[in-house]
Chains A and B, each alone.
Chain A
Amino acid sequence: MPQIVVENLCKSFRVAERDPGLWGAVRGLAHRRYRTVEAVRDVTFSLEEGELVGYIGPNGAGKSTTVKILSGILVPDSGRCEVMGAVPWRDRTRYVGRIGVVFGQRTQLWWDLPVIESLELIRDIYRVPSNAYRETLDELIALLDLKSLLDTPVRQLSLGQRMRCDLAGSLIHRPRILFLDEPTIGLDAVSKLALRDFVRRLNRDQGVTVILTTHDMDDIEALCSRVIVIGRGEILSDGSLAALRARVTNERWLIIDLEDEAAIVEDEDAESARTDTGRVRLRFDPARVSTAELIGRVTSRYAVRDLFVENPPIEEIVARLYREASP
């Protein structure tokens, strides 16, 4: 029995619209126009306990809507959704005590209170026994390096520090499922790495199921074995990163540094372009021309200083998928 089951989930919103300018505002007083936005359309997937899944899609694709439905704070129009055998929005108060949620753009901590007092409040809110709290807290302090932050009021933390504390706050009651909604947004490189490392350990060592929504493809590549791509409310792809690549494109890139930097490389089986850094990039389909053959041809024709083969970055793959999905 999967831990999370989502079947044919639909949710639409009514958005009030008006024409721009004064006249539009006046007309809006008498006659409201509404547009229906289908935020989530017929979404179906299921998750086993202990999975770490990336849930990605462009802005407005329906990621956050799905997460909000799964965490019980939005009621869908139709469809089935069961998490750990419960329907999230029914009996919400009991359900939410069993999950953890972090919204990267908001904080759950109390602005004016020192971090430790916020965490103690969360302990009381979730009715965590004090010895269990002590144990969890010590563990989180060690893993997230919180020792020096505990006495600082939340408003004085940097974004990266705050995010670490928010993560700790969402885990005080040891949830079996953690929803992370854009947790790395606005973080610097070091903070991102630390956060990814923590999420990986949490998933691997404690078997916590993690659903991660993000725009940062490095998060996905670093963490997720499975990726669900959503666009315009519908699931575009669901599977491993490799499968996602294979579905969208099987092209490879041959990157070349030439002795003569101004030379133009041409090949009948590849598409040539310059990278941002001035290197030559040959895009080719390995089914049409083998990598070895292409390298052989290029090195025999041009004076090559260095070359290497790479997969198109995941951003590129996803951007293509998004483009294909939009009419």
Chain B
Amino acid sequence: MTPYLSLYGARFRTLLQYRLAAFAGFGTQLFWGIIRMMIFQAFYDSSAIAQPMSRAQAVTYIWLGQAMLGLLPWNLDADIRALMRTGTVAYELLRPMDLYATWYARAVAQRTAPTLLRCIPLFLVAGLFFGLRPPASPVAFVEWLLTTAGAVALGCAFGTLMNVTLVTTVAGEGIWRFAAPLTYTLSGMLIPISLLPPAFIPIVNALPFRGLVDTPFRAYLGLLTPRDLAFGLLHQACWTIALVATGRMLLRRTIGHMVIQGG
């Protein structure tokens, strides 16, 4: 097995051990899902004009968001932070591996393992009791899988870039406070993008975050035309490449002057 795959596997297995965290996460996300559902109910009840997304679609969108929340790169990797604080990053540099790729593999594990644990019960419960609908069609399902893979690639590129800034800042609180609301609002996790004020939509469309949530969720709902799908995947791919390139460059530049203190 290649080093990166086996590191991914080890990290994935480690994260799967945190059953209690998964259970707590499931509870929290269920609770928030119900609250958000009620807010959107009120919104649809009081709205006189036709919305670009039906009520049932909005409910499904919300529950998808609750189930897939773990994929959103809103926080830093606590372990990489610890590596920086304690200087154990020295050992990372002693591995005959590409450091960026190593951290990217970690990020993929960090996003996929907890999400996998949490999304299955959420899909079941929300599907049975709270109006989450299955994918619009088999084609929509395949499109959803494709764009979700794109979202993971993109989210991990963004997350790894944030982790790379830790080499310089060590603490990372600032970047974290900045990234959390940014990813949450601009991805469509807070409000589906098509429900945002029309003036904002072109800007949000150009930014990378839409590819994390809105693109796969609309695929799930069957709202993507083939052209939308192609553009969505291209948008994800371009931003992934740009973010990976930026992260790599930043890491190369900072690691050169890194000083690991202490014996």
Q: Which residues of A contact B (CB under 8 A)?
A: 13, 59, 63-64, 68, 71-75, 92-94, 96-97, 99, 101, 103, 105-108, 110, 112-113, 117, 120-121, 124-127, 181-182
* 15 A–B contacts from the bound complex (CB under 8 Å): A68-B90, A73-B94, A92-B93, A96-B93, A96-B94, A103-B90, A103-B91, A105-B262, A105-B263, A106-B86, A108-B94, A112-B14, A124-B6, A125-B6, A182-B263
Contact yes or no, A101 B10, CB < 8 A: no
Contact yes or no, A59 B97, CB < 8 A: no
B14 partner residues in chain A, CB cutoff 8 A? 110, 112-113
Contact yes or no, A96 B86, CB < 8 A: no
B6, B88, B96, B260: the one within 8 Å of A93 (CB): B96
Given the complex of chains A and B, what is the CA–CA distance between A95 and B263 in angstroms? Answer: 22
Chain B nearest CB: distance from A121 CB in Å? Answer: 5
A93 partner residues in chain B, CB cutoff 8 A? 95-98
Given the complex of chains A and B, what is the CA–CA distance between A70 and B173 in angstroms? Answer: 33
B7, B17, B96, B260: the one within 8 Å of A96 (CB): B96
Chain A nearest CB: distance from B191 CB in Å? Answer: 37
Contact yes or no, A73 B90, CB < 8 A: yes
Chain B nearest CB: distance from A87 CB in Å? Answer: 14
Chain A nearest CB: distance from B26 CB in Å? Answer: 21
Query: Does B1 touch A at the CB level, under 8 Å?
Result: yes
Given the complex of chains A and B, what is the CA–CA distance between A126 and B1 in angstroms? Answer: 11
A13 partner residues in chain B, CB cutoff 8 A? 259
Given the complex of chains A and B, what is the CA–CA distance between A13 and B260 in angstroms? Answer: 11
Contact (A106, B87) CB under 8 Å given A121-B6, A125-B7: yes
B263 partner residues in chain A, CB cutoff 8 A? 59, 63-64, 103, 105, 181-182
B3 partner residues in chain A, CB cutoff 8 A? 124-127
Contact yes or no, A113 B10, CB < 8 A: yes
Chain A nearest CB: distance from B159 CB in Å? Answer: 20
Given the complex of chains A and B, what is the CA–CA distance between A73 and B2 in angstroms? Answer: 23
Contact yes or no, B90 A106, CB < 8 A: yes
| Residue from B5, B93, B94, B97 having most chain A Cβ neighbours under 10 A | B94
Query: Does B226 touch A at the CB level, under 8 Å?
Result: no
Chain B nearest CB: distance from A58 CB in Å? Answer: 11
A96 partner residues in chain B, CB cutoff 8 A? 93-96
Query: Does B202 touch A at the CB level, under 8 Å?
Result: no
Contact yes or no, B260 A68, CB < 8 A: yes
Given the complex of chains A and B, what is the CA–CA distance between A64 and B86 in angstroms? Answer: 15
Given the complex of chains A and B, what is the CA–CA distance between A124 and B93 in angstroms? Answer: 16
Given the complex of chains A and B, what is the CA–CA distance between A68 and B263 in angstroms? Answer: 10
Contact yes or no, A72 B259, CB < 8 A: no
Chain B nearest CB: distance from A122 CB in Å? Answer: 9
Q: Which residue of A lies closest to B10 (CB)?
A: A121
B7, B96, B256: the one within 8 Å of A121 (CB): B7
B1 partner residues in chain A, CB cutoff 8 A? 124
C-beta contact mask, B74-100 vs A, less than 8 Å → 1, else 0? 000000000000111011011111100
Contact (A125, B95) CB under 8 Å given A106-B88, A110-B10: yes
